[in-house]
Each structure stands twice: as C-alpha cells, then as structure tokens.
Structure 1
Amino acid sequence: MSGEFMGPPWQADWSKEAEETRDTLPADGREALLAARAELVTAKDPYFRGIDSDLDLPSSMSVEPVQSTRPGGMHVLYFGRGRGWLRYHFTPRSPDPQIVIDEVFWQ
C-alpha cells in the first residue's frame, strides 16, 4: 500500500448499540437506514463539507454537523424524510479510513 488517502467506498462499522437498534427496526425503517448507509459510504466526502455539498443526496436525506464549531466531528445523517437519523464520525486515517455509526434512531 502506498500510504495514499483512499477514497470511497469507505469502510463502515456500527457501535453495538447502533447495530442492535438497526436489527430491531421495522422493514421500512431498515430499508431507509440501509439506503442512507449506502449514500454515506459512497460519498466523496462523508462530512459533506462546503456549500450545497449534499445536493447529490436523495431528497429524503440531509446531513449536518452535530456542532457547527466542529465541522470535522460528529455528524447526523437524516433519512426517511426525517423519520430517522444516524449519528456518525469519520476517521480519515491513510491505510484504512472508516466511518463509525454510533447511534441510530427511527420514529
């Protein structure tokens, strides 16, 4: 490996809590969540930085940082037309960049 920064598709991992929530969602919630995850792992920049950078997302999804003062920190991806969200962070290490999904919510 050359040590260069890799691009999408990104590796994704789930916290135990997020995984347990994912596994108990109703079928429509799980389908929406997996579609959101697919958008996240294939995004050029998982933090969707810049003006209108999330325009490529389906209209049922949007992304924002948890804290506006930490654009490189935790983010929330809303999916299912606002019925659900997942909280994640991105670790841009060179050999193995990874997205970690910490929390999932569906209503």
Structure 2
Amino acid sequence: MRTFGVFVSLVLVVTPVKAIGDEPTKFLGVGYNLLTGNPDGGLLSRGGIDPGLLYTRKVLDLSSHYAVQSESRRSCAQTRQTSVFYGGKSYQEKLKRGVSFGG
C-alpha cells in the first residue's frame, strides 16, 4: 500500500501541465473581482468579456517550465438570446450551457 502512494506522488510531480488549446487556460491564475464580476459578460462594445476578470492581477505564478502559458485575449461577440432563470440553481445551469472548450 505504501509503494502505491509513493508511485502516485511521483507521477503527479513529474507530469508537466499541458495546455489544452487556448481558451480553457486563458484565465488560469488571473484574479477576479466578485463585486464587479458578471459571468454573462460585460458590454459588447468591450468584447463581452466579464468585467470582474483582473488581467493585471495574477494570483497564481505560472512562470515554471512546466506551467501553462498565458497571453492576452481578443473577443468578438454578437448574440441575441432571451431566457428566464430563477434562483441560484437555474442560474448555474444557464451559465453551464455557455461554457465549452476543446483540445
């Protein structure tokens, strides 16, 4: 049992973090302001990016050789959607539908 625990630890430490495409890792390590944040996005004139994202405030150091590389983001969005949500659970479901990534 002890040997298995040591093996798992070594695998987790030695395995480098691999970026899975650009989008899922863009905001890794970026700070977030809960007071101004809006997961639905901000003004479309600003690209519709969540105003709570603090690009200049890094809360996670990604400078290691095995870390994920981060870079600036450009965004263009033109959407028209109407939906009704009620309470926290339905709002979570609404936000889940808007998230997608691939690698």
TM-score (normalizing by structure 2): 0.31
TM-score by length of 1: 0.31
More strand by share: 1
When Rg is computed on C-alpha atoms for both structures, the one with the higher figure is 2
Structure whose residues are more often helix by fraction: 2
